[in-house]
Structure 1
């Protein structure tokens, strides 16, 4: 199992936990109170700490929470991340009980300021392993899981796969097979994020106009850009798609 697939599973598990929701009572304010029977995550703790709207929780929002627990700002950061960054995200998720994301970011920021440098992903991974991985001390972590994650997956095997199997460069178009599917799924996720940000007057119309397959096959990459690094090509979706969605929004407004 690849690291991204592993985190997809965690998001699905979190979503399953929320789907055990049952109405417990209704307050005088008219707000519902719910109870849960989770198997994977401490739902009540996540609700409190991440300010989750219990009446509007989707798989996409579950993915956002998992991304946060892994040290990313949003779910669409996963496919663009380098192998060392993905390994670090797995370690941070695995050791959430020991160190919080906030304390890790604060630590690495202080070290960068002290050494007057900005560390790359590989260096950050090395620092985490050297300072925190085998440390028995606790640094403001909080356990949101209801089981020991190390008993449910072979973390070392996931790490080894990422280190030994770097992505090849893209050398031909159109994209095919699993690579094409990865790019389509990433484009769909980025599209949803961009559409939420631009606050268009016609979101339903824009969704009907959007075609992730056509965008990946015909618009993102051009022959003159080849060869291109796999991860860099994925990052272009986040960089370029906002302009495409804005263009769709303008067309939607013109049809009003």
Structure 2
């Protein structure tokens, strides 16, 4: 199945879920609301997060939502996308449980800023495969709008459309640099992830990479003042997410040093 056909299918599934719509009157709110019995998507969450007009939802609206879920502003933009961009979009959709589109955009923009370059679609695709698609253990702090097969959300005693976006810890970081227990945990996470990445990429000069590795400096580079206030757990997840790219840069620098030593 071609990638664009895959997304057309997802849009049809979403539209089909919306067609399960049934109105009901809520006496406590004195208002008419809708409930759904979807098979494919968490319709209530999509209605809340994307401010969907439930009274006029057509297939073209479903296409628009599907495009938004994978990083496009609208469906027609997706139709004009390159094959690599479409493949990346499909991976983003299929790995929604690992990383949300917002988290991916933060990650890739950080990598572009670090290298002072705008990556081509092919490069973004390669990065996503290497860092997320082919690596287990990632868990998104965003919401996975897909329903597991055979699972239907319960609408019993529904009062209003809930905000079903996955809750974060509620603890905020509001000042930098990180200090105390927050910094200690951040360094521990960074060091553990660093060792995992070292085993994965197997650099040519591992000892040189270890000498270049500075967890304190890395943490201060990842959590920046313009991010504040930021959820503590989300900030810690960014430390892991950005580290693969950072270690690859260290390995490249170590290769250059190793050549001069030889």
In the alignment, is the contact (CA less than 8 A) between 1:69 and 1:101 conserved in 2? Answer: yes
Alpha-carbon distance between aligned partners in 2 of 1:129 and 1:84, rounded to the nearest angstrom: 12
TM-score, scaled relative to structure 2: 0.54
Gaps of 5+ in 1: 149-256
* Structure 1 residue 58 corresponds to structure 2 residue 58: yes
Deviates more, 1:4-13 or 1:137-146: 137-146
Residue 27 of structure 1: how far off its partner (Å): 5.8
Alpha-carbon distance between aligned partners in 1 of 2:116 and 2:123, rounded to the nearest angstrom: 14
Greater share of helix residues, 1 or 2? 1
In the alignment, is the contact (CA less than 8 A) between 1:100 and 1:139 conserved in 2? Answer: yes
Query: In structure 2, do the counterparts of structure 1 residues 54 and 31 end up closer, same or farther at CA, with 3 Å as the change threshold?
Result: farther
CA RMSD of aligned residues (A): 1.6
Matching residue of 2:5 = 5
- Structure 2 residue matching 1:106: 3-state secondary structure: helix
Matching residue of 1:137 = 138
In terms of Rg, which structure is larger? 2
Alpha-carbon distance between aligned partners in 1 of 2:126 and 2:27, rounded to the nearest angstrom: 50
Alpha-carbon distance between aligned partners in 1 of 2:82 and 2:27, rounded to the nearest angstrom: 47
Residue 26 of structure 1: how far off its partner (Å): 4.5
Alpha-carbon distance between aligned partners in 2 of 1:4 and 1:31, rounded to the nearest angstrom: 39
Matching residue of 2:103 = 103
Matching residue of 2:251 = none
Alpha-carbon distance between aligned partners in 2 of 1:121 and 1:68, rounded to the nearest angstrom: 17
In the alignment, is the contact (CA less than 8 A) between 2:64 and 2:74 conserved in 1? Answer: yes
* Structure 1 residue 47 corresponds to structure 2 residue 86: no
- Structure 2 residue matching 1:141: 3-state secondary structure: coil
- Structure 1 residue matching 2:79: 3-state secondary structure: coil
TM-score, scaled relative to structure 1: 0.55
Residue 56 of structure 1: how far off its partner (Å): 1.7
Mapping for residues 58-207 of structure 1, pairs under 5 Å: 58-135=58-135, 136-147=137-148
- Structure 1 residue matching 2:73: 3-state secondary structure: coil
Q: Deviations over 1:42-62 (max 9, x none)?
A: 111111111111112111111
In the alignment, is the contact (CA less than 8 A) between 1:27 and 1:33 conserved in 2? Answer: no
Matching residue of 1:34 = 34
Gaps of 5+ in 2: 150-262
* Structure 1 residue 14 corresponds to structure 2 residue 14: yes
Deviates more, 1:40-49 or 1:114-123: 40-49
Matching residue of 2:186 = none
Residue 30 of structure 1: how far off its partner (Å): 6.1
Length, aligned pairs only? 148
Matching residue of 1:210 = none
